[in-house]
């Protein structure tokens, strides 16, 4: 597991806060007593970008209520967030507007700061924060920021695992296959798959002088000199909690009952398309799971959906938390690595450069259409993502390069890219991670293959290609 430094057991927490710190979602990264005379509790919003249904914000509010203090949400816009481009920042800004509105409705402060005023530590001094509560993110850099911060701060700092149904530390390990994970998950779900209690701040944020906040009518990326603006925003998805909730309602009402049939039909819009909202934390998995649980649909179909939303998604989070090489071929299990190396010299009838792949210029019209869907819409259907990854392994010079190319393309164009699900999905496609050995085949060795013939017979591939045609 990536080491979480500064972890302090709840024992050195003042009595009044001990109950909150004992919540299995909470990690006390820096313990001790809140700042004497502190004026507020700050929630540092980063991964869980929502002001409703947010377990991290709820912990901040409960701490504020216990200490008799208001809560201020702080969002510091980072100009060089790893691999983020204009498309991602645009979606992020849409989400910030909803979060600001929802925070105001709950009597919470909401402050957005852009560089050079985006320093969290300076903000904590400015508002005389008593305690800092944040969210969690298992990816490398965000986890490093949290660890570094914990060492530098002088006030208590807790993080809350808000974007999974079952907090990852409950398992404290990764799993090789979904069916190994399933019984552990099933054991924990009754404890965590429950509606949260409604928590409201008892101390509304009403300062004499409001801390300065960036005007969200303006562009948060103005002045970013190094931002990749070549990847343009898309109109297929509007960021934010309000759009996420509308999409969830529509999915539950119209599509859920047919999910088992339509989820493998990329030419239909049969899946929830909630992944960008989950990635940006505009909606939490618990909110989705509870809505699905309460929906009118056959129980086996609901179970199928939950297996994706909780089973596969949380398996991916555990993979990234516990695998330091989650985004490179180094994460391959030895059976996959050895077998891929044995087949390294196999003839590859088709080879493409990175640029050809990026432009969708291969002999395979279905693959090109999938690539175009990703580039134009900022999202690709799951069924095609599997095929897309497998073909990159077949056409790249070697498996390590295939892995790198898939990560670059996925993180660049998908709105839900730069996410544990993406790294796990690519590791599944290219190095057989979270999968078992299959039959020995050229190029793939024991890693599962997918051929266009068998795959494209299962849905209306021609319709999908038409929907994502070059002329579109
Ligand atoms: C090569 C490859 C790359 C992928 N890249 C990403 C990525 O960058 N970001 C991303 O979120 N997902 C990724 N996935 C997983 C999956 O394809 C998407 O989560 C899914 O297509 C999102 O569409 P949806 O929201 O309509 O899913 P639905 O079918 O409606 O499922 C609901 C939710 O369950 C989760 N889920 C569904 N399928 C999977 C899965 N196979 N693994 C993990 N979680 C799943 C997602 O959070 C999804 O939003 C990738 C898969 C592969 C094979």
385 close to ligand 1 (CB < 6 Angstrom): yes
Q: pLDDT tens-digit profile of 265-321? A: 999 999 999 999 999 999 999 999 999 999 999 999 999 999 999 999 999 999 999
Among 311, 315, 425, which residue has the most ligand 1 atoms within 8 Å of its CB, making it the best to mutate? 425
Q: Whose CA is nearest to atom 21 of ligand 1?
A: 382
Element containing residue 135 per DSSP (H, E): strand 129-135
Alpha helices in 12-167 (DSSP H): 15-21, 55-67, 86-105, 120-126, 140-152
Nearest protein CA to atom 50 of ligand 1, as residue: 425
Our mutation pick for probing the ligand 1 site, out of 382, 411, 448, counting the most ligand atoms within 8 A of Cβ, is 382
* Nearest atom, ligand 1, residue 416 CA: 9
Residue 382 CA to ligand 1 center (angstroms) comes to 6
Beta carbon of 282 within 6 Å of any ligand 1 atom: no
Strands (E), 218-306: none
Give the sign of the dihedral formed by CA 264, CA 266, CA 272, CA 273: positive
How many whole angstroms from 184 Cα to the centroid of ligand 1?
A: 21
Dump the DSSP string for 338-383. Answer: HHHHHTTTS--S----HHHHHTT-SS-HHHHHHHHHHHHHS---HH
Whether 382 lines ligand 1, by a CB cut-off of 6 Å, is yes
- DSSP assignment letter at 28: E
Put the strands of the sheet holding 129-135 in their side by side order: 26-30, 157-160, 129-135, 40-44, 71-76, 109-113
Q: How far is the CA of 275 from the centre of ligand 1 (A)?
A: 6
CA angle 243, 248, 249 (to 5 degrees): 100
Q: Which domains are assigned to the chain?
A: 10-163 (3.40.50.620), 241-322 (1.25.40.80), 329-467 (1.10.579.10)
Tell me which DSSP letter residue 445 carries: B
From the alpha carbon of 418, which atom of ligand 1 is closest? Answer: 8
Q: What is the pLDDT along the chain (472 residues), one digit of tens a residue?
A: 444 443 444 557 888 899 999 999 999 999 999 999 999 999 999 999 999 999 999 999 999 999 999 999 999 999 999 999 999 999 999 999 999 999 999 999 999 999 999 999 999 999 999 999 999 999 999 999 999 999 999 999 999 999 999 999 999 999 999 999 999 999 999 999 999 999 999 999 999 899 999 999 999 999 999 999 999 999 999 999 999 999 999 999 999 999 999 999 999 999 999 999 999 999 999 999 999 999 999 999 999 999 999 999 999 999 999 999 999 999 999 999 999 999 999 999 999 999 999 999 999 999 999 999 999 999 999 999 999 999 999 999 999 999 999 999 999 999 999 999 999 999 999 999 999 999 999 999 999 999 888 888 889 999 999 999 987 6
**Pairing mode of beta strands 129-135, 40-44:** parallel
Nearest CA to ligand 1 atom 35: 309
Q: Which is the closest atom of ligand 1 to the Cα of 273? A: 26
pLDDT at 455: 82
Check if 414 has its Cβ closer than 6 Å to any atom of ligand 1: yes
The atom number, within ligand 1, closest to the CA of 426 reads 1
CB distance 178 to ligand 1 below 6 Å: no
Strands 109-113 vs 40-44: parallel, antiparallel or unpaired? unpaired
Which residue has a Cα nearest atom 33 of ligand 1?
309
Ligand 1 touching residue 306 (CB < 6 A): no
Beta strands 71-76; 157-160: pairing state: unpaired
What pLDDT sits at residue 122? Answer: 98
265 pocket-lining for ligand 1 (C-beta < 6 Å): no
Testing ligand 1's pocket by substitution, the residue of 258, 275, 289, 393 carrying the most ligand atoms inside 8 A of its CB is: 275
C-alpha of residue 274 to centroid of ligand 1, in Å: 9
pLDDT of residue 2: 42
Residue 421 Cα to ligand 1 midpoint, Å, equals 6
Q: Is the CB of 386 under 6 A from ligand 1?
A: yes
pLDDT at res. 11: 54
Alpha-carbon distance 339 to 345, whole Å?
12
Counting from 1 in the atom list of ligand 1, the atom nearest the Cα of 276 is 11
Q: Which mutation among 416, 428, 435, 455 tests ligand 1's pocket best, with the greatest number of atoms within 8 A of CB?
A: 416
Spatial CA neighbour of 392 closest among 374, 415, 418:
374
Please say whether the beta carbons of 181 and 302 come within 8 A. Answer: no
**For ligand 1, is residue 416 a contact (CB within 6 Å)?**
yes
Ligand 1: residue whose CA is nearest its atom 43: 313
> Which residue out of 380, 385, 424 has the highest number of ligand 1 atoms within 8 Å of its CB and is therefore the one to mutate?
385
Q: Which atom of ligand 1 is nearest to the CA of 410?
A: 8
The alpha carbon of 462 and the centre of ligand 1 are apart by a number of angstroms equal to: 23
């Amino acid at each position: 597991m990536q080491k979480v430094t500064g972890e302090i057991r709840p024992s050195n927490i003042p009595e009044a806060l001990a109950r909150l710190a004992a919540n299995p979602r909470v990690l006390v990264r820096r313990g001790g007593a809140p700042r004497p005379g502190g004026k507020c509790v700050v929630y540092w919003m980063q991964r869980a970008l929502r002001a409703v249904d947010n377990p991290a914000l709820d912990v901040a509010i409960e701490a504020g209520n216990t200490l008799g203090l208001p809560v201020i949400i702080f969002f510091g816009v980072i100009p060089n967030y790893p691999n983020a481009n204009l498309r991602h920042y645009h979606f992020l800004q849409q989400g910030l507007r909803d979060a600001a509105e929802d925070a105001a409705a709950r009597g919470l402060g909401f402050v957005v700061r852009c560089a050079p005023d985006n320093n969290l530590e300076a903000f904590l001094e400015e508002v005389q924060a008593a305690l800092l509560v944040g969210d969690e993110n298992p990816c490398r850099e965000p986890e490093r920021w949290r660890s570094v911060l914990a060492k530098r701060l002088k006030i208590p700092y807790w993080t809350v695992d808000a974007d999974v149904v079952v907090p990852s530390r409950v398992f404290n390990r990764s799993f090789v296959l979904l069916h190994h994970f399933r019984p552990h998950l099933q054991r924990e779900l009754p404890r965590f798959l429950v509606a949260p209690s409604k928590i409201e701040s008892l101390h509304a944020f009403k300062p004499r002088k409001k801390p300065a906040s960036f005007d969200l009518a303006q562009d948060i990326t103005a002045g970013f000199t190094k931002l990749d603006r070549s990847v343009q925003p898309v109109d297929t998805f509007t960021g934010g909690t309000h759009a996420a909730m509308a999409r969830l309602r529509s999915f539950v009402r119209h599509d859920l009952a047919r999910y088992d049939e339509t989820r493998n039909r990329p030419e239909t819009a049969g899946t929830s398309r909630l992944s960008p909202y989950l990635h940006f934390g505009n909606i939490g998995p618990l909110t989705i799971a509870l809505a699905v649980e309460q929906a009118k649909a056959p129980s086996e179909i609901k179970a199928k959906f939950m297996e994706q939303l909780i089973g596969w998604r949380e398996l991916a989070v555990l993979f990234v938390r516990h695998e330091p090489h989650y985004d490179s071929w180094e994460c391959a299990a030895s059976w996959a690595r050895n077998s891929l190396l044995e087949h390294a010299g196999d003839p590859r009838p088709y080879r493409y450069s990175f640029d050809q792949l990026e432009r969708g210029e291969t002999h395979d019209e279905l693959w090109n259409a999938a690539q175009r869907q990703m580039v134009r819409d900022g999202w690709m259907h799951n069924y095609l993502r599997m095929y897309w990854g497998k073909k990159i392994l077949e056409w790249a010079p070697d498996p390590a390069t295939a892995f790198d190319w898939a990560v670059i393309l996925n993180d660049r164009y998908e709105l839900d890219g730069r996410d544990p699900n993406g790294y796990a999905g690519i590791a599944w496609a290219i190095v057989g991670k979270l999968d078992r050995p299959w039959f020995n085949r050229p190029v793939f060795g024991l890693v599962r293959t997918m051929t266009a013939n068998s795959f494209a017979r299962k849905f209306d591939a021609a319709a999908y290609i038409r929907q994502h045609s070059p002329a579109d």
